[in-house]
Amino acid sequence: MNNKIVYTPGPTDVRENVRLARATKTTNPDIDKDFVNFYKNTCDKIGKIINTKNDIYILSGEGILGLEAACASLTEAGDRVLVIDNGIFGEGFKDFVSMYGGEAVLFSQDYKKDIDIKSLEEFLENDHNFKYATVVHCDTPTGVLNDLSKICPLLKKYGILTVVDSVAAMVGEELKVDEWMIDIVLGGSQKAISAPAGLTIVSISKDAKNIIKNRKSKIIGFYCNLSIWENYYEKKSFPYTMPISDIIGLDKAIDNVLEEGIQSVLARHDKIAYATRNAIKDYGLGLFLENGYSNTVTAVKIPENIGALNLSNYMLENYNTLVATSLSQYKDKLLRIGHMGENARIDKILNILNTIDISLRKMGFNGKYNLVDRFNKYYK
Amino acid sequence: MNNKIVYTPGPTDVRENVRLARATKTTNPDIDKDFVNFYKNTCDKIGKIINTKNDIYILSGEGILGLEAACASLTEAGDRVLVIDNGIFGEGFKDFVSMYGGEAVLFSQDYKKDIDIKSLEEFLENDHNFKYATVVHCDTPTGVLNDLSKICPLLKKYGILTVVDSVAAMVGEELKVDEWMIDIVLGGSQKAISAPAGLTIVSISKDAKNIIKNRKSKIIGFYCNLSIWENYYEKKSFPYTMPISDIIGLDKAIDNVLEEGIQSVLARHDKIAYATRNAIKDYGLGLFLENGYSNTVTAVKIPENIGALNLSNYMLENYNTLVATSLSQYKDKLLRIGHMGENARIDKILNILNTIDISLRKMGFNGKYNLVDRFNKYYK
Amino acid sequence: MNNKIVYTPGPTDVRENVRLARATKTTNPDIDKDFVNFYKNTCDKIGKIINTKNDIYILSGEGILGLEAACASLTEAGDRVLVIDNGIFGEGFKDFVSMYGGEAVLFSQDYKKDIDIKSLEEFLENDHNFKYATVVHCDTPTGVLNDLSKICPLLKKYGILTVVDSVAAMVGEELKVDEWMIDIVLGGSQKAISAPAGLTIVSISKDAKNIIKNRKSKIIGFYCNLSIWENYYEKKSFPYTMPISDIIGLDKAIDNVLEEGIQSVLARHDKIAYATRNAIKDYGLGLFLENGYSNTVTAVKIPENIGALNLSNYMLENYNTLVATSLSQYKDKLLRIGHMGENARIDKILNILNTIDISLRKMGFNGKYNLVDRFNKYYK
Amino acid sequence: MNNKIVYTPGPTDVRENVRLARATKTTNPDIDKDFVNFYKNTCDKIGKIINTKNDIYILSGEGILGLEAACASLTEAGDRVLVIDNGIFGEGFKDFVSMYGGEAVLFSQDYKKDIDIKSLEEFLENDHNFKYATVVHCDTPTGVLNDLSKICPLLKKYGILTVVDSVAAMVGEELKVDEWMIDIVLGGSQKAISAPAGLTIVSISKDAKNIIKNRKSKIIGFYCNLSIWENYYEKKSFPYTMPISDIIGLDKAIDNVLEEGIQSVLARHDKIAYATRNAIKDYGLGLFLENGYSNTVTAVKIPENIGALNLSNYMLENYNTLVATSLSQYKDKLLRIGHMGENARIDKILNILNTIDISLRKMGFNGKYNLVDRFNKYYK
């Protein structure tokens, strides 16, 4: 099962030192105060990477846990919530909002473009009575990247809290939580951070904590309740047994980022994404997006007579290589190249581009150039 | 942080092959169908161990996630729920019940004894209008073991579904889910199964699934919603990205149990627990319980002039050994010896008993015998 | 130190399951009879791969230990030994021969070609009074492959024992020890077997054992004395403490070969070597050899104005990639592409060819084609 | 095979961080200059531990390789060599001496005592025409420890070089190479250093190097020739491919020693050995030695009616525990408790003493006390 060449927009390849860290014997996370410090220290390092002094928590559960926890903790019956929607995951937030009794108001835009700030401004001028807004940083099914540096301060100006899903962007795209005034940011361990899936990262502002504290109704649920983490450090106690082995792995992945330097990591993503996009275009395939290209994932249009699913099946059967197409309406239309985290490495992208190239040729699509050759051209 | 000798009632020691399995490279759990089969196979093996043909799910989250998920999925506003309470965790179920709108009715009993079946029978004769009942198999803070073979069929006779928290018992105590007609059983990876914390095990009956399917109101929440797992295998798709590395580790831990044989594993727990209890008594310390001794954890009364917290601190400072006291009212009264899973090994229990012995002597309590010597006497 | 991309003709990349096997706790190899069986079983599996029923030993030491041990064990003062020399390692055997008192007679041939059987036949007709002959299967510094299927039976016809250095060929090239009547074959763990360096593999025939048994003088030395291994299995005892952790790793590497199937492994080497050689030629670089191309290593002539050392330095400095040039007179003339064992993988060879291509272009040598593109052309 | 509880005088338990270090991907040790520095650094750290500025080499092979290499490198035909013999390994040196043409002169003493300095002085007054002398630091089969601080300077006074086998003592016993003027010291990776078997450690003085340089005859052999290591660092080149993965493990084991502090490590050995010896005596068993007790291994006399081999078999069959008896004439007479390196840990020694205790009782020997209890008494 595990001998395949995997190149998807998450879970990404996990570096050896992270994997081996996961294999070490551990202390007891419930009663060893050393672990509380260790956990806090990991959180602080994440804060450094995403440029915030806000509290950070690591939750035991997949990234979606954070999205739900933010909505569960903020939403009270009848609350109006702005759901900014230019992608499948963007729209998906409406379910969490309504599940907890809120009224989701969608601001929907072209899925081929990032959120147009002017349009949002105009919308907000007319309607800004929202408790909070949800935004997706990078919407993985299509790879569109939204400009949080503009969106979040704008919402804040209207007193609207922001909940940002940065699961597929964090560490691969710049994230300045404090400067951009983001209230709740959500990340996952398995994307550009390149640790295994199973952990959710939450950054939460004082404003968000106050809103939660001053709710009129109780939060429904415990596992998705962010307020249970309040003052864990002072109390030296967690709401439940922490997955210490996973966190030790995450900590090592974070150290890898810090050791390389977050700016170098971002530059590495940028260089590879840039060369990939241009190589794809020269080759004769189209990109799904018209603008708002993320550096973590590139969605490539696959000609209808080939089909994205056929292509991915062909690569699996003939080259033991696992790549992802997309979701819902894009399932058979887009191939996604997930050059994030440890996948944003020259040897890996080269191999995947070459496998795409030779597979397409065998399936009857003749690219104008050798794809690796084009990549070389744009990769500096 | 991780160089301590740890001997607590979970998380338990994780065997080397489980730890190394966690370090391997993996496939992509979202799109690789081989993983769906792997996951299913792990679940089937768990079913074999707990004697059930019910569906089994492995959730990404700590054991408490399962407890909440069961209550969240079953409870509708106004539902009456019987909370069987002879321990701290037993009573705790009432919070989950009321959180989701149910009315928790407590059947409370002496915390020093297991549930008396006759008393429960009498109670039910008078009042049995409950949608479901919650029972704790082994209540870790005191170690009391309840006789599910009597309790669950009795409840079922009245048409009451049973939700059993077997987190601290599963694999260390016999569990015959089908024979005992248990509707939902919850386990955790980090107790007698001896994998790291971070995974919840759920076994769910057709009756429970039907009750959930026929709810009048929607389940509040996604992460704690058991119905999202329905037919995952047929759909070859999971509700969220599975923590594959953790599951590979769990699978290996389950293999360890199957290889040793569940009956041998249970016998190993029994022999060590029996010798421990008797050695403790001969030595001159008291057991907290009067009956209902579990084979996974033994709660030992520590003389007031010593104090359980002082003793555990002494062991940590002088012998680098981490043991647990208990919770709430028992925090400074009980020392808990957690001889479950990989901790139920001769070399580990011997060392911990000896450390307790020499620590107590240095703190002024002179046991009547050498504690290891007494253990030897009863260990066959 | 260890974060480089390494692509050399050994030590080769070590697969994860081999590396993790090296990390496991072990029994005591001196007194645990289970280990004797384990060791024997590993040897038997190697025998299966190299097609022999001869005794096989695994020695604690680098491959050269085996070469010396063969010469030390066979050579007595004054013995005439035929040293077949068409490469640097081939010639090197003469030192071991004379060190132990033998008279080394060289049969030297063009280093650009494999041994010409007719010439050897003619030579032997005139002079065949040799106790044994030494032959190198694949001479790594130039990559020349000698046809053992012809050479060894020919020597045997004259009653000359054969000592074959197959360190750089075993598992990457066919080896039929019994059919080809090879008396002593030597292998190393770190080449096509793809385990770490540190172990020597020896296969020894009855004829060779008899010659050793009937020596007139004692063997000088213990560590290089092959007779100390005689009957280790019957005696359940080794001459010294076996490096059990290394052998457990080797065993897993051997299992990897058997699981893939030795014929598939050989085919994998053949396909990659073939495509590499032809891609290199189309690209405009020359191969060192005129015939006798091995499938484990390809020696490429680097234009003088570039220089092999300059090229390898450039690749290290700019692409963090470690490749080998050659030895002695070829040090600055040849770049060696070591596509053996786990290095004979598509993703790895592609990346290295691409790095060679872009490096050469930046250094001023413009290949006629994109090198990966040419590789694709020949790789079926 | 590997699930046994192993407690022998080497190979000892290997700490997790050493084992995991062995599992990491590595660079190429032949051509990566970073590795030469890494190797040198490991050697320097060993030098710090054994208090020397002499050159240190790590050889690829089991400890006996070093013993032979020292003799092979120093001995010329006819050389007189003093073999100091108060143990099985001490006497064994005579074979290496004569193998390489030397004349071994034995200074044999009571095997139950360490070397008596006065007797040696008297001996040397009469006969001191020796090129070098061999001494065993701790002779493992009986555990006798010789006082190098007296023996080596005494020999040096007579111009006799010293070759010390410290395989079973290094890191467990004090070793001041420079102060005690030891010319060649030999160690192994698998004893108190607690790395796996497979590496030899050699420390060599200028005097020894000069003697080797000025030999009249060539050294017979390459693998056992210490002069091939000369100036490896300046040349950035090793005589053969270094077992880098093993050395990375050794380096971590050495770091473990340095982190704990060599004085603490020695004190840990001393405390455990002292308590073990006294517990054994109180219990009613005899020690083999009359003086010269090493802190790395304790040889215990087993009553004839029980038999050491019977006892060890009983422990293996009933408690899955592997302990060593001894060699040759002591094979059935002595049980050896190897409390060295990572085995010199409280939890491990307690368990082994308890297993010995209960096994002996079941076999009919009733110790006067509980053995763990006695150990507690003497362990401070």
Peptide bond into D11 cis (omega under 30): yes
Tokens 């004979």: give the residue.
C344
Does B374 belong to an annotated binding site? no
Instruction: List, in sequence order, every residue forming a beta bridge with A60; answer none if it has no partner.
Output: A199
Q: Is A249 helix (H, G, I), strand (E, B) or coil?
A: helix
Closest CA to C229 of C363, C66, C22: C66
CA distance A8 to chain B (A): 8
Q: pLDDT by residue (tens digit) across D10-30?
A: 999 999 999 999 999 999 999
Q: How far apart are CA B52 and CA B177, in angstroms?
A: 5
* Torsion angle in degrees (nearest 10) through CA of C30, C36, C41, C42: 10
Residue of B nearest to A223 (CA): B65
With CA atoms as reference, the chain D residue closest to C64 would be D240
pLDDT of residue B170: 98
- Torsion sign over Cα A312, A199, D26, C190: negative
Judged by DSSP in three states, D134 sits in strand
Look at A17 and D23 and tell me if their CB atoms are within 8 Å: no
Tell me, yes or no, if A5 comes closer than 8 A to chain C by beta carbon: yes
B255 Cβ under 8 Å from any chain D Cβ: no
Question: What is the average pLDDT value for chain C, to the nearest integer?
Answer: 98
pLDDT at C354 (0 to 100): 97
Judge contact between B315 and B353, C-beta under 8 A. no
Distance, in Å, from the CA atom of C268 to the CA atom of C271, rounded to the nearest integer, reads 5
Is A220 in the B-facing interface, judged by CB distances under 8 Å? yes
Q: Which pair of structure tokens corresponds to residue D95?
A: 């074979």
Cα dist. D172→B35, B272, B376, D48, D86 in Å?
49, 35, 32, 14, 20
What pLDDT shows up at residue D367?
97
For chain B, residues with pLDDT lower than 50 are none
Measured between CB atoms, which of D5, D370, D376 is closest to B347? Answer: D5
> Measured in whole angstroms, how far is the alpha carbon of residue D136 from the centre of its chain?
8
pLDDT < 50 positions in chain A: none
Q: Is C347 on the interface with B (CB under 8 A)?
A: no
Single-letter amino acid, residue A69:
A
Which residue from B minimizes the CA distance to C20? B20
Number of Cα atoms under 13 Å in the Cβ half of residue D343: 32
pLDDT in tens, C13-22: 999 999 999 9
The answer to whether A298 and A273 are in contact (CB under 8 A) is: yes
pLDDT at site B244? 98
Give the sign of the dihedral formed by CA B135, CA B141, CA B143, CA B144.
negative
pLDDT at position B92: 98
Q: What is the pLDDT of residue D299?
A: 98
Rounded CA gap, A203 and A205, in Å?
7
Element (H, E) at A248: helix A244-260
What pLDDT, on a 0 to 100 scale, did the predictor assign at position A141? Answer: 98
* Partners of chain A (3+ Cβ pairs below 8 A): B, C, D
User: Touching check for C16 and chain B: CB below 8 Å?
Assistant: yes
The rounded radius of gyration (Å) of the Cα atoms in chain C is 21
Q: CB–CB of B221 and A68 under 8 A?
A: yes
| pLDDT score for A238 | 98
Q: Is A17 on the interface with C (CB under 8 A)?
A: no
- CB-defined contacts B:C, below 8 A: 11
Nearest CA in chain D to C24: D19
**Binding-site annotation, residues of D:** 336
B34 touches chain A (CB under 8 A): yes
- Residues in C closer than 8 angstroms to D22, CB to CB, are 19, 22-23, 245
pLDDT score recorded for residue D221: 97
pTM above 0.80, yes or no: yes
Percentage, residues of chain B above pLDDT 90: 100
User: Would you call D29 and C197 a contact, using CB atoms and an 8 Å cutoff?
Assistant: yes
Phi, psi of A362 (to 5 degrees): -70, -25
Q: How far is C295 from chain B (nearest CA, A)?
A: 29
- Which residue among D1, D72, D322 places its CB closest to the CB of C31? D322
Residue appearing with tokens 């307690």: D350
Tell me what pLDDT residue C340 has.
Answer: 98
What angle do helix axes D262-283 and D346-362 make, rounded to 10 degrees?
Answer: 20
pLDDT computed for residue B177 by the predictor: 98
Residue D46 is which amino acid?
Answer: I
Write out chain C residues lying below 8 Å of A351, CB-based: 346-347, 350-351
* Three-state secondary-structure class, residue D318: helix
Whole-number pLDDT of residue A65: 98
Predicted local distance difference test score (pLDDT) of residue D45: 98
The verdict on D22 touching C (C-beta cutoff 8 Å) is yes
Please tell me the distance in Å from C351's CA to the nearest CA on chain A. Answer: 5
Residues from chain A contacting residue D17 (CB–CB below 8 Å): 24
- Per-residue confidence (pLDDT) for residue B167, from 0 to 100: 98
- ipTM surpasses cut 0.95: yes
Q: Who among D22, D38, D223 is closest to C224 (CB)?
A: D223
Is B346 in the D-facing interface, judged by CB distances under 8 Å? Answer: yes
Closest-CA residue of chain C to A5: C347
Contact B24 C24 (CB under 8 A): no
Record: contact B19-A20, CB cut-off 8 A: no
Answer yes or no: are the C-beta atoms of A201 and A52 closer than 8 Å. no
Chain B nearest CA to D186, separation (Å): 31
* Test the A interface: residue of D20, D25, D345, D347 with most A CBs within 10 Å: D20
- Select from D32, D197, D220 the Cβ nearest to the Cβ of C220: D220
Chain C partners of A373 at a C-beta cutoff of 8 Å? 370, 372-373
**Nearest CA to D5 among D320, D340, D356?**
D320
The answer to whether the CB atoms of A20 and D25 lie below 8 A apart is no
pLDDT digits (tens, 9 = 90+) for A221-262: 999 999 999 999 999 999 999 999 999 999 999 999 999 999
DSSP at B321? E
- Residue B226 is classified by DSSP as G
Average pLDDT over residues C168-174: 98
**pLDDT tens-digit series, residues B64-85:** 999 999 999 999 999 999 999 9
Beta carbons of A24 and D20 less than 8 Å apart: yes
Question: CB of C347 within 8 Å of any CB in chain A?
Answer: yes
* Local confidence band at C202 (pLDDT 50, 70, 90 cut-offs): very high
DSSP codes of every residue in D350-361: HHHHHHHHHHHH
Could you write out the DSSP letters of every residue in D298-311? EEEE--TTT-HHHH
| D20/C28 Cβ within 8 A | no
Which residue among C5, C346, C373 places its CB closest to the CB of A370? C373
Q: What is the DSSP string of B96-152?
A: HHHHTT-EEEEEE--TTSPPPHHHHHHHHHH----SEEEEESEETTTTEE--HHHHH
**D222–C95 C-beta distance less than 8 A:** yes
pLDDT for res D204 = 98
Question: Any chain D CB within 8 A of the CB of A77?
Answer: no
What are phi and psi for residue B150, nearest 5 degrees? -100, -45
B248 CA: distance to closest CA in chain C (Å): 14
Cβ pair B20:C16 closer than 8 A:
no
Any D CB within 8 A of C40 CB: no
DSSP for C291-347 reads: S-B-SS-EEEE--TTT-HHHHHHHHHHHH-EEEB--SGGGTTTEEEE---GGG--HH
Nearest CA in chain D to C224: D223
Per-residue pLDDT, A360: 98
Pair A283, A357: CB distance under 8 Å: yes
- C270 touching chain A per CB within 8 A: no
Cross-strand bridge partners of residue A31: none
- Tell me if residue C141 falls in helix, strand or coil: coil
Contacts of B372 in chain D (CB under 8 A): 350, 354, 370, 372-373
β-pairing, C321-323 with A144-145?
unpaired
List, in order of start, the domains of chain D with CATH numbers.
Answer: 5-9+261-378 (3.90.1150.10), 17-259 (3.40.640.10)
Task: Considering only the beta carbons, identify the residue of D20, D62, D96 that sits closest to C240.
Answer: D62
Chains B and D form CB pairs within 8 A to the count of: 39
Q: Which residues pair with B184 in a beta bridge?
A: B163, B204
Name which of A19, A99, A246 is nearest B246 (Cβ-Cβ): A246
Mean pLDDT of C329-353: 97
